[in-house]
């Protein structure tokens, strides 16, 4: 395993102790099989997480996928995009900070965040963008649909080798409520724990 920052090491340890529910295991299997096949063939692995606004769930998924790929030493690159451009939601940013990530403090309508996670300064650049933004892969990737709106409204993703629906409830429903912080943390942790389950299984099986 590769080292993460100390605060993130603690969070990942908690994620690994929170396996997915039985109901979710069947939904995760197509992603596991896709990754296992790509890794067995020693092919480049690109996961592109897509949600309507690329502001919450798809951003959580990109961050956790890249961090956990680093941790489990899997040759994988994670991306995210939306149907339209908004901004990486500040509530999601606050959640990641509370879970141990270090972030810069950019400005503007669509800030570009540098999210640090590795013990040696590894970081990830994140901002809201459309799924076909030049920074995202144009071919040979899996399109992971993280919300039902994007899944319904984008029946075809150009360049995707495989389309995998992996839907999550939107924490936006709890914005400005007493449950806001709890529900954002819950969603981030769910996404992180499910990806940790998949990646740890790959590692245990020799990939």
What domain range is 57 assigned to? 6-204
Q: Judge if pTM exceeds 0.75.
A: yes
The CATH number given to whatever domain includes residue 28 is: 3.40.50.2300
Q: Is the pLDDT of residue 150 over 80?
A: no
Using one digit for the tens of pLDDT, what is the confidence trace for 38-56? Answer: 999 999 999 999 999 999 9
β-bridge pairing 102-103 and 113-116: antiparallel
Whether residue 180 has pLDDT greater than 90 = yes
pLDDT class of 197 with cuts at 50, 70, 90: very high
Residue at 154 is within a domain: yes
Q: How many domains does the chain have?
A: 1
132 domain residue, yes or no: yes
| pLDDT digits 0-9 by tens, 2-41 | 899 999 999 999 999 999 999 999 999 999 999 999 999 9
What is the pairing mode between strands 76-82 and 45-51?
Answer: parallel
Q: Is 1 part of any domain?
A: no
192 in a structural domain: yes
How many angstroms separate the CA atoms of 115 and 13, rounded?
19
Q: How does pLDDT run across 56-86, given as a tens digit for each residue?
A: 999 999 999 999 999 999 999 999 999 999 9
């Amino acid at each position: 395993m590769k080292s993460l920052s100390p605060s993130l090491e603690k969070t990942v340890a908690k994620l690994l102790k929170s396996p997915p529910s039985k109901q979710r295991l069947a939904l995760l299997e197509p992603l596991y099989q896709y990754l296992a096949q790509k890794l067995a063939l020693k092919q480049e692995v690109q996961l592109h997480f897509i949600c309507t606004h690329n502001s919450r769930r798809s951003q959580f998924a990109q961050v956790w996928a890249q961090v956990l790929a680093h941790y489990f030493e899997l040759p994988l690159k994670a991306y995210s995009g939306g149907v339209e451009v908004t901004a990486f939601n500040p509530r999601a940013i606050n959640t990641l900070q509370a879970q141990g990530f270090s972030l810069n403090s950019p400005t503007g309508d669509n800030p570009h965040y540098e999210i640090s996670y590795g013990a040696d300064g590894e970081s990830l650049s994140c901002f809201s963008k459309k799924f076909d933004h030049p920074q995202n892969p144009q071919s040979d990737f899996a399109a992971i649909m993280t919300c039902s709106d994007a899944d319904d409204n984008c029946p075809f993703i150009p360049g995707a080798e495989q389309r995998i629906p992996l839907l999550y409830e939107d924490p936006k429903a709890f914005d400005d409520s007493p449950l806001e912080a709890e529900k954002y943390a819950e969603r981030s942790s769910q996404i992180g724990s499910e990806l940790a389950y998949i990646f740890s299984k790959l590692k245990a099986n020799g990939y």
